[in-house]
Amino acid sequence: MKEDSEMVNEGTLLIGLILEGIERAPAIIIKASSKSD
């Protein structure tokens, strides 16, 4: 049971990182495109 909960915690952290990346991606893309101009 303990191993399962650890896997769930890792998965939650990973999902959190992915969601955070999706939220920040537009700003990063805008910065990159404005630099190339």
Classify burial at 17, counting beta carbons within 10 Å of its beta carbon; exposed 0-12, middle 13-18, buried 19 or more. Answer: exposed
Write down the pLDDT at residue 35.
78
Cα 26 from chain centroid (whole Å): 13
Cα separation of 6 and 2, whole Å? 6
Q: How far apart are the first and last CA of the chain?
A: 54
pTM of this structure: 0.52
Write down the pLDDT at residue 1.
63
1-37 pLDDT per residue, tens: 678 888 889 999 999 999 999 999 998 888 888 876 5
Parse the chain into domains and list their residue ranges: 1-37
